[in-house]
């Protein structure tokens, strides 16, 4: 469901075109807007947007590409902000994609984002390497919640959160791995897991 940067640009162009003119752009008009001389390339981008649920296409008409709004698709677009470790902490890094997620996974639209999981420390919670997790941005968590935590200011990790006095325990959901136990002041909670997306 993730959009590439170019797919996002084409989707935004089509939405704006329809809003301004009241009808859809042709493949040629889309191509001209992005300096794409091949109609086949434009068609491929449009087809991906149809498959991902962002556009609706009537195959028997020209100018038949129509943007789907979020109310009709039941999806909300969130930024994919990078990768988080479900294993030893690693630095999260920025990527430039957006992901469509079911609306019921998002309580607060402007304060939610998506991360790609790397590692297998949460497999007993059914969170696997390569999965996408929907995160609600929050600076605090309750004991037992699965969180994205920043350890010592730079190392992001996905673990179960437990506060015990002056210490925080970040517990993996994998019996072969040990918990991370650090002073509470060395841990910043960046958010709590609200949903899970997986491609087969």
**What pLDDT, on a 0 to 100 scale, did the predictor assign at position 75?**
72
Domain 2-68, what architecture? Orthogonal Bundle (1.10)
The residues carrying an active-site annotation are: 121, 159
Contact, 49 vs 11, CB < 8 A? yes
The mean per-residue pLDDT over the stretch 64-81 comes to 70
d(CA 164, CA 168): 6
**What pLDDT, on a 0 to 100 scale, did the predictor assign at position 19?**
82
Quick: pLDDT tens for 125-178. 999 998 999 999 889 999 999 999 989 877 788 999 999 999 999 999 999 999
**What pLDDT, on a 0 to 100 scale, did the predictor assign at position 58?**
64
Cα distances (angstroms) measured from residue 72 to each of 2, 58, 68, 152, 179 = 18, 17, 7, 43, 43
CATH number of 75-197: 2.10.109.10
Given a cut of 50, whether residue 31 has pLDDT beyond it is yes
**What pLDDT, on a 0 to 100 scale, did the predictor assign at position 97?**
74
Question: Rounded to two decimals, what is the model's pTM?
Answer: 0.64
Given a cut of 60, whether residue 94 has pLDDT beyond it is no
Contact, 62 vs 69, CB < 8 A? no
Residue 90 banded pLDDT, cuts 50, 70, 90: very low
Given a cut of 50, whether residue 45 has pLDDT beyond it is yes
Contact, 136 vs 64, CB < 8 A? no
Q: What percent of the chain has pLDDT over 90?
A: 33
For the chain, the structural domain boundaries read: 2-68, 75-197
The mean per-residue pLDDT over the stretch 23-29 comes to 87
């Amino acid at each position: 469901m993730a959009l590439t940067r170019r797919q996002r640009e084409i989707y935004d162009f089509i939405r704006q075109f329809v809003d301004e003119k009241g009808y859809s752009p042709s493949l040629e008009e889309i191509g001209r807007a992005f300096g794409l001389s091949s109609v086949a390339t434009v068609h491929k981008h449009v087809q991906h947007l149809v498959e991902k649920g962002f556009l609706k296409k009537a195959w028997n008409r020209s100018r038949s590409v129509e943007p789907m709004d979020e109310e009709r698709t039941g999806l909300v677009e969130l930024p994919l902000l990078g990768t988080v470790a479900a294993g030893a902490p690693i630095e999260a890094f920025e990527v430039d994609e957006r992901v469509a997620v079911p609306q019921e996974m998002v309580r607060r639209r402007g304060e939610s984002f998506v991360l790609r999981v790397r590692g297998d420390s949460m497999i007993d919670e059914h969170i696997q390497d390569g999965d996408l997790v929907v995160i609600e941005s929050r600076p605090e968590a309750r004991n037992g919640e699965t969180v994205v935590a920043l350890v010592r200011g730079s190392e992001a990790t996905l673990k179960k959160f437990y506060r015990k006095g002056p210490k925080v325990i970040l517990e993996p959901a994998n019996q072969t791995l040990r918990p991370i136990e650090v002073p509470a002041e060395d841990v910043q909670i960046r958010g709590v897991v609200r949903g899970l997306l997986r491609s087969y």
